Amino acid sequence: MAHCPASAGRPRFEIADIVRAHRAELELTQHLTPAQRRVLSAIELCRTAALGGHLEVCRQCGFEQPAYNSCRNRHCPKCQALAQEKWIAARSERILPVGHFHVVFTLPSELRSLTKSFPQLLFDALFRAASETLIELGQTHLGGLLGVTMVLHTWTRDLRFHPHVHAIVTAGALDALGSWRPASIKYLFPVRVMGELLRGKMLDFLRRAQSRGELRGYDEFLDPQAFDRLTARLANKRWHVYAKRPFPQAQHLLGYLGRYTHRVAISNSRLVDVSKQAVTFRTKEGKTQTLAPVEFLRRFLQHVLPDAFKKIRHFGLYATAHSALLELARAQLPHDPQLAPPAACLSWAERLRALTGRDVTRCPRCGGLIERIATLEPLARAPPKNVAA
């Protein structure tokens, strides 16, 4: 499975620089949750002396350099590449050698405010409604159990709040007799039917949550009629579901899916220009967006997930509880040697070399072997501010 090499050098601009320069101003105007504060601190300190590390030296030419630790926060744009490769290697052991459809389930705009107030509740409901929609249609249309992997995204390319789940779905299902039943190569299920099922399940969830008092405290529902008006609007609109034709080979799917599972709201590579007054970043189709730094950070922080929230989930044949059924399905399908996980036992340095072309075990000056000779303890203070000019 081929991947495009990433740049081994430091990007010209980093989100960490924006955090260091404008966090104080942001906190004067914006209430931040503890989780959002932790994310800002992690990004600010990632790969700096504040987190400690070790000293590296080349015995051949005497070159020395510090190597600082990563924060490993899942929202940090500098900490996802190796995690992505490790995840791909692990999933290659479970993915079935069949085509997979890509389906996207999106919450309507009317629910964005409510979702911001109760993110855990609404995100869980979206996962449940979308997965149940697919599993039920797998039974009624294919007569069997699908394999589904889902990942939550909450952003648009300009960092607005737009909750949706990407689902990768097997182009076929395992029936009750243990036989594999392939799906059409043109489409999985009618998108209108998927949208109607999603709508019905989400509305049922909202009504039950309201009756149990789980939406108590939401200001817009202080009006006794507001909840009924909202559900009436939602019931009368078409819910958007998007489906693409399947990936013909599972090994192509893994690289594609890996980019989705470990993507953060914005990467450092998308930053075009950063100054004290503005942040400009790429959106799509060659366009850019320019925001004030504080507004940029505010939008970025909208996408911080609740603590311990699982944004990647597996259902049907891909659920851990159905491992035996997964192996039964695999036994009936042609073996795909390209799905063997060659990187499963690689060290982090070998993964980094395969991903970026950069060999951290070799001296950048002479090519000699780099050795770790000392541990650098974390500093008691934060790193100095790096204010963009």
* Sequence spans of domains, the chain: 1-79+274-301+348-389, 94-265+309-339
pLDDT tens, position by position, 150-174: 999 999 999 999 999 999 999 999 9
Mean pLDDT, the chain, rounded, equals 87
For residue 358, pLDDT beyond 80: no
- pTM for the structure as a whole: 0.86
pLDDT value, residue 343: 47
Provide the residue type at 151 as one letter.
V
pLDDT value, residue 8: 43
Which whole number is the average pLDDT over 129-136? Answer: 98
Nearest in space to 115 (alpha carbons), one of 164, 71, 69: 164
Collect contacts of 255-258 with beta carbons under 8 A, ≥24 apart. Answer: 255/1, 255/2, 255/3, 255/88, 256/102, 257/88, 257/91, 257/149, 257/151, 257/168, 258/84, 258/85, 258/87, 258/88, 258/91
Nearest in space to 248 (alpha carbons), one of 332, 180, 183, 341: 183
For residue 304, pLDDT beyond 80: yes
Pinpoint the alpha helices (H) of the chain. 15-29, 34-45, 81-91, 112-117, 119-137, 191-211, 226-235, 250-261, 293-301, 323-331, 348-356
For residue 385, pLDDT beyond 60: no
Helix (H, G, I), strand (E, B) or coil at 224: coil
Q: Which of 84-93, 109-118, 139-148 has the least mean pLDDT?
A: 84-93
More confident position, 376 or 146 = 146
Find where tokens 């006794």 sit.
224
pLDDT tens, position by position, 59-113: 889 898 898 898 999 999 988 766 776 777 777 778 898 889 999 999 999 999 9
Q: What is the C-alpha separation between 143 and 98, in angstroms, rounded?
A: 17
For residue 23, pLDDT beyond 70: yes
Q: What is the C-alpha separation between 292 and 281, in angstroms, rounded?
A: 11
Which whole number is the average pLDDT over 310-323? Answer: 96
Q: Residue 14 has what DSSP assignment?
A: -
Pinpoint the alpha helices (H) of 106-249. 112-117, 119-137, 191-211, 226-235
For residue 220, pLDDT beyond 70: yes
CB 46 within 8 A of CB 74: no
